[in-house]
Amino acid sequence: MSAIPENPYLLLTPGPLSTSPTVRQAMMKDWCTWDAEYNELVNSIRSRLVELAVEAHPAAREKYTSVLMQGSGSASVESVIGSVVPRDGKLLVLANGTYGKRIARAANILAIDNEVLDFGEQGAIDLEALQQKLLGDHGFTHLAVVHCETTTGRLNPIEEIAPVVKQAGLCLMVDAMSSFGGVPIDMVGLGIDYLISSANKCIQGVPGFGLIVAKRAEIESTKGYSRSMSLDLYDQWHAMETGGGKWRFTSPTHTVRAFDQALIELAEEGGIAARCERYRKNHQVLVSGMRELGFETMLEDEVMSPFITTFYNPGAKSYKFEEFYARLKRRGFVIYPGKVSDADCFRIGNIGHVFPEDMERLIDAIRLERYWL
């Protein structure tokens, strides 16, 4: 049997991302979705996800649970808002980018009563505006916020947002798609009710399913709330909880196996704190090197996440992002186009099986490919 070929380039994107050879190798085995060994693996993954989410408060372990959901990360976000907000509930969405707006769009399609506090694609979440919104008889029962808004790479301050939300008595749902596993999140201390992420982000697996860590009492109270069959969060959780790890429908078996290996490698690296340190070093090397080459970051240092960084495109008429992208790809690096609608920009991810020396090689490649100078 031939060996798995090495990737021809690094994916410097917010996911899918570059994975380790051993994570890719883990997919080279077929699994039956009803096999006891496979279901035990699923439950082991669920247990380890809870441990990661509550690692600062291990005594709270039994108060939390997790569920895996087929599909993209956005499918898991939709499964949460569509399954936990009751028919007479009302959702407040904090938005400062595409992914916050996507939550509101899903809520509208699902006919969930909702309101959006939109701070603009490059704006910070205004805590005073949030406090004012939650004064008096506001009618909101749930609030959703994106932790790392990958539109720009901004890391929203959930440590400051959560106390305001919990003081108002709302259920707090955090889209931690691009942050869970890559930076410590005190789920227990912040009172987060639902934390949502995906297999192909900071835990460094491959696409195929999303994951939700939740307060057990919260998810137990949502039976019958779902507006969807396939995305019924309670049903999915209940099937896994009572069926020994069984999925309701065909599961992404190869992705699950790869994710198990990715969790093993996260632990071997030293856990979330160690991975966060590597990502921060990647980010520091990237930003420092790009600035030396004359590129400008969109955000200020203090609000940038260590996961993905947005840079303005050079102003030279001879510069074209598509040309820049193609040249870097030939040198072994794939970057990401911009997502901010009113700014000419591009993005570079720092996550995945990527190390500071890789970022140094990227800077060298960009130095050689500044054809517009």
Annotated binding site: 347
Binding residues for substrate are 347
| Identity at 250, one-letter amino acid code | T
In angstroms, the CA 278 to CA 307 distance is 10
- 373 vs 370: CA distance, rounded Å: 6
User: What are the CA-CA distances from residue 289 to residues 171, 335, 357 (Å)?
Assistant: 42, 15, 12
| Strand pairing category for 308-312 and 345-349 | antiparallel
Q: How far apart are CA 238 and CA 58, in angstroms?
A: 23
- Cα–Cα distance, 123 to 299 (Å, whole number): 10
Listed residue (200, 241, 205, 208) closest to 67, CA to CA:
241
List all residues 6 or more positions away from 369 whose beta carbon is below 8 Å from its beta carbon.
324, 327, 328, 331
Contacts of residue 227, defined as CB under 8 A and 6 or more positions apart, other chains included, come to: 82, 83, 110, 111, 112
